[in-house]
Amino acid sequence: MTSSSALSIRALTKRYDTGLLALDAFDLEIPAGEFFGLLGPNGAGKTTLISAICNLIRVTSGQIRIFGRRHDDPEARRMMGLAEQDVNLDRFLDVEETLVYHGGYYGMSRHDARRRAGEMMDVFDLRAKAAVRAPLLSGGMRRRLLLARALMHEPQLVILDEPTAGVDFELRIELWRYIRRLHEQGTTILLTTHYLEEAQELCHDIALIRSGRLLARDSPSGLLEAFAAESLADVYVRAMAAA
């Protein structure tokens, strides 16, 4: 079943066991094929939202659909690729194994997984590190491996939680180019970043969130107009000040 909506979130509430309300009756609709940016300060609820979408945490209430399917449907899970904010690589696996195991986990044959892992190592310039275990990679290389792993099973919705945090200038430009290409091929992208210039450069649709609530959502030019702002940084400051 396909749907023109990649992601549909209705009245999503997440209260952690500590009592903290991280998402407050949150609604969000992302059309298929969108390049979407989620912006907000530390603690706004971005990672909570992503964890809920990917069914990594139990939501308190509300509904999430991925291309029309319930988010806890295994098929929905296969349609998503997630690069988490925390670099969570298995320290006992080398680069190639990390990718091949992930492919296996998503139902790829060993042959397909090895072929795709080769492609991903080429794209992310990790070929020379194929037999190196994650703890022996540099920080930027680990970030690249995380992205390569997220893309292994060719997901239609790619979710990137601060993919360029701590990444050098050259790699950032490379990643932008690659993510843009993915988007041009029809992949829906959901990205969080604290780099406003990155959001401005890449995203066609941006949501500003704070304290688990949506403050504003529009195209970069629509946001500039709505907030009578000169730059996305201005929009951000004004939206947060008004919240």
Ligand X SMILES: Nc1ncnc2c1ncn2[C@@H]1O[C@H](COP(=O)(O)OP(=O)(O)OP(=O)(O)O)[C@@H](O)[C@H]1O
Q: Which residues here bind ligand X, judged by CB under 6 A?
A: 16, 18, 20, 22, 40, 42-48, 85
Residue by residue, DSSP assigns 168-214 as: -HHHHHHHHHHHHHHHHTT-EEEEE-S-HHHHHHH-SEEEEEETTEE
The least CB distance from residue 165 to ligand X, in Å, is 9
The least CB distance from residue 124 to ligand X, in Å, is 23
| Candidate segments 52-60, 84-92, 108-116, 127-135, binder of Mg ion by CB under 5 A | 84-92
Verify binding: residue 85, Mg ion, rule CB under 5 A: yes
42 binds, among Mg ion, ligand X, none (CB under 5 to 8 A by kind): ligand X
Query: Of 94 and 193, which has the nearer Cβ to Mg ion?
Result: 193
Query: Of 62 and 68, which has the nearer Cβ to ligand X?
Result: 62
| Candidate segments 40-48, 109-117, 167-175, 198-206, binder of Mg ion by CB under 5 A | 40-48
Locate all alpha helices (DSSP H) within the chain, ordered by sequence.
46-53, 74-79, 95-105, 110-123, 139-151, 169-184, 196-202, 220-226, 232-242
Residue 227 and residue 235 in contact, taking contact as beta carbons nearer than 8 Å = yes
Query: Of 46 and 217, which has the nearer Cβ to Mg ion?
Result: 46
**Which residue in 131, 130, 162, 133 sits closest to 147, CA to CA?**
162
Residue 182 and residue 135 in contact, taking contact as beta carbons nearer than 8 Å = no
Output the six-digit token pair for 103.
């492919």
Query: Of 13 and 85, which has the nearer Cβ to Mg ion?
Result: 85
Query: Of 30 and 100, which has the nearer Cβ to Mg ion?
Result: 30
Q: At what angle do helices 139-151 and 110-123 cross, to 10 degrees?
A: 140
128 binds, among Mg ion, ligand X, none (CB under 5 to 8 A by kind): none
Verify binding: residue 47, Mg ion, rule CB under 5 A: yes
Residue 163 and residue 194 in contact, taking contact as beta carbons nearer than 8 Å = no
Summarize as ranges the residues that interact with Mg ion (CB under 5 A): 46-47, 85
